């Protein structure tokens, strides 16, 4: 089963193969910052809904009312 973190790691390494060894040690915010801008917002919302990041952290990537 792919977790959101695993999917995010896959997306980051798809765009930057040089980070392949490093993504496992990155925290979620650093992973989001390294993801392609198109996907950051949706990943941030998913992680926030799963309570893996805070609302304040998610606001860096998406506008929350």
pTM > 0.85: yes or no? yes
CB 5 within 8 A of CB 28: yes
Query: Residue 15: which domain range?
Result: 4-58
- Specify the 3-state DSSP secondary structure of 26: coil
- Specify the 3-state DSSP secondary structure of 19: helix
CB 16 within 8 A of CB 30: no
Report the number of distinct structural domains present in the chain: 1
pLDDT at 1 over 60: no
Cα(24)–Cα(5) distance, integer angstroms: 9
Whether 65 is in a domain gets the answer no
Whether 30 is in a domain gets the answer yes
* pLDDT tens-digit map of 10-53: 999 999 999 999 999 999 999 999 999 999 999 999 999 999 99
Residue 25 token pair: 């040690």
Whether 63 is in a domain gets the answer no
Whether 35 is in a domain gets the answer yes
Whether 36 is in a domain gets the answer yes
The pLDDT value given to residue 65: 73
Whether 47 is in a domain gets the answer yes
Whether 20 is in a domain gets the answer yes
């Amino acid at each position: 089963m792919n977790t959101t973190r695993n999917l995010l790691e896959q997306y980051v390494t798809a765009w930057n193969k040089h980070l392949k060894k490093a993504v496992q040690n990155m925290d979620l915010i650093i992973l989001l910052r390294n993801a392609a801008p198109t996907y950051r917002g949706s990943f941030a919302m998913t992680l926030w809904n799963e309570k893996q990041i805070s609302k304040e952290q998610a606001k860096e990537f998406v506008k929350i009312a």
